[in-house]
Copies of this chain bind each other. A is one copy, B any other.
Amino acid sequence: MTDAETAQMEIAEHRKAIDDYDVQIVKLLNERAEHSLAIRALKPIVNMGLYDPAREEQIFQRLEGFNQGPMQNENLREIYASILKVMKEIPA
């Protein structure tokens, strides 16, 4: 096999691994979303607003505490900014 053929095969293997990770990640994001929806339903009872900047900052700080890379903290913060935004937009 040429180097290019070997590389092509390795790319296909990594993509297969990524596809498997995505199944797991989507499952966890949906389970996480169930808890976000439950919290959203409870917030009016305790007069809390939908957007809670202190809680969001607490989440970011925690993530950075256990992030082991290769994602940098700013990479993770960018993904989670999107996750937290979407969690507020999911139809109840």
Contacts and interface: CB of A to CB of B under 8 A. Distances in A.
A82 B38 CA distance: 25
16 contacts: A8-B46, A15-B35, A18-B36, A21-B32, A21-B35, A22-B59, A22-B62, A22-B63, A26-B63, A26-B71, A33-B71, A34-B70, A71-B86, A72-B91, A79-B79, A81-B82
Contacts of A68: 30
B82 A4 contact: no
A3 B67 CA distance: 37
Interface of A: 3-4, 7-8, 10-11, 14-15, 17-19, 21-26, 28-39, 42-43, 45-48, 55, 59, 62-63, 66-72, 75-76, 78-79, 81-83, 85-86, 89-91
